[in-house]
């Protein structure tokens, strides 16, 4: 069964074989066969198909690829947000306040929470999402958090090294993370992550956790340089990790390491919106040739948004990105951060994952911030 989708004023393909960063096709159509794109081009040249869908003059963009989220949790931290807005600084220790609620929640409660947030993401055009553990911080609760996450995505990340739980020494906890916790989590995880930051884990501890994860068959990624300059970004580059996330505070050496390594810098502007920290300087990274991704970091503490369009608008307004660069980072950039070549673009052979905008152009994502522009989200060749 094939479907030709017509009435597209502007089709963003992200196809490097086409002109411009976004590979835009005006007056376009695309043909979907099964869960894949079978043809892309001008509507006047579209081949016949079994079904025809007319979008009536709307823009189409690749589905957003959200490569950083923490959605397996229970409880609420709205009061913490209000305190920050009243002037209290953000610190990593707030994570512990979510741990007790998550440990106490049933699998059914956690699953319902993730389902609700994934549905929010779908309505806003996100078609691929990474989900981390990290609010269990025990063997049982990290493993079951990942089992919950795996119901919704293949991009699951073991983040037992989020913070050190109360009452445990860092040395003892790292031994638990790299031993029984990793063994329990590995069957449910594709990636392993560490929060390498003041108040969490230092570079040596991060290196030990990532090495143990690699030995267990998990690929590494890293939270780094969110609260201050440190060694996390350069560790990610040294180890050849696919992505390093946050990158808020960067030295010249950090930027040079990113540019020379190919490690994707995943920027999370919703965090800075929620914490009132300085925004990352995306312009500086792009000028150096660093590949940049955008993601939500959807979590109950530092950034409780599920909206990739909101992050695109923030990146344009606050981080020096053009609308084209921000959209590319939120789609193809996110795919690169997950080492995926089947999503984040629209061309022959890609997954037929795309968002239909109730607008004539992708520019409206930044031009009309906060407006629910996504009228349809297609996942695997079908409206979700």
Which structure tokens are listed for 152?
Answer: 């919704």
113 marked among binding-site residues: no
Q: How far apart are the first and last CA of the chain?
A: 17
Which structure tokens are listed for 273?
Answer: 């919106």
230 marked among binding-site residues: no
234 marked among binding-site residues: no
135 marked among binding-site residues: yes
68 marked among binding-site residues: yes
Residue among 320, 335, 238, 336 at smallest CA distance from 286: 320
301 marked among binding-site residues: yes
Residue among 238, 243, 188, 178 at smallest CA distance from 214: 178
Which of helix, strand or coil describes residue 294? strand
299 marked among binding-site residues: yes
Cβ-based neighbours of 223, under 8 Å, separated by 6 or more? 193, 194, 195, 196, 197, 200, 232, 244, 245, 246
d(CA 165, CA 155): 25
d(CA 328, CA 51): 30
DSSP state of 340: -
70 marked among binding-site residues: yes
Binding-site residue set for 4-imidazolone-5-propanoate: 77, 135, 162, 226, 302
Binding-site residue set for Fe(3+): 68, 70, 223, 297
Binding-site residue set for N-formimidoyl-L-glutamate: 135, 299, 301
Binding-site residue set: 68, 70, 77, 135, 162, 223, 226, 297, 299, 301-302
Binding-site residue set for Zn(2+): 68, 70, 223, 297
């Amino acid at each position: 069964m094939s479907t030709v989708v017509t009435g597209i004023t502007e089709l963003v393909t992200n196809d490097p074989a086409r002109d411009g960063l976004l590979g835009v096709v005006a007056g376009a159509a695309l043909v979907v066969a099964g869960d894949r794109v079978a043809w892309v081009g001008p509507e006047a040249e579209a081949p016949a198909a079994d079904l025809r869908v007319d979008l009536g003059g709307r823009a189409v963009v690749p589905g957003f690829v959200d490569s950083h989220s923490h959605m397996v949790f229970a409880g609420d931290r709205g009061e913490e947000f209000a305190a920050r807005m009243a002037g209290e600084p953000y610190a990593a220790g707030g994570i512990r306040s979510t741990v007790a609620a998550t440990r106490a929640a049933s699998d059914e409660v956690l699953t319902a929470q993730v389902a609700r947030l994934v549905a929010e993401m779908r309505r806003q055009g996100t078609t691929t999402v990474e989900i981390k553990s990290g609010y269990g911080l025990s063997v049982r609760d990290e493993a079951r958090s990942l089992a919950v996450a795996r119901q919704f995505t293949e991009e699951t990340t073991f983040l037992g090294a989020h913070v050190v739980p109360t009452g445990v020494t860092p040395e003892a906890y790292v031994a638990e993370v790299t031993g029984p916790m990793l063994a329990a989590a590995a069957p449910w995880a594709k990636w392993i992550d560490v929060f390498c930051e003041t108040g969490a884990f230092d570079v040596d501890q991060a290196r030990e956790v990532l090495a143990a994860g690699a030995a267990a068959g998990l690929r590494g990624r890293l939270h780094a340089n969110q609260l201050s300059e440190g060694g996390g970004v350069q560790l990610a580059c040294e180890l050849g990790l696919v992505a390093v996330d946050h990158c808020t505070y960067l030295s010249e050496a950090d930027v040079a390491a990113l540019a020379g390594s190919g490690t994707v810098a995943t920027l999370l502007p919703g965090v800075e919106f929620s914490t009132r920290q300085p925004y990352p300087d995306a312009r500086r990274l792009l000028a150096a040739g660093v590949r940049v991704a955008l993601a939500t970091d959807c979590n109950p503490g530092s950034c409780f948004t599920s909206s990739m369009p909101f992050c695109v608008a923030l990146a344009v307004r606050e981080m020096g990105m053009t609308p084209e660069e921000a959209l590319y980072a939120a789609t193809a950039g996110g795919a690169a951060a997950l080492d995926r070549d089947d999503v984040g673009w629209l061309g022959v052979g890609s997954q037929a994952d795309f968002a239909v905008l109730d607008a004539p152009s992708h520019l409206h994502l930044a031009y009309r911030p906060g407006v629910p522009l996504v009228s349809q989200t297609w996942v695997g060749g079908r409206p979700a």
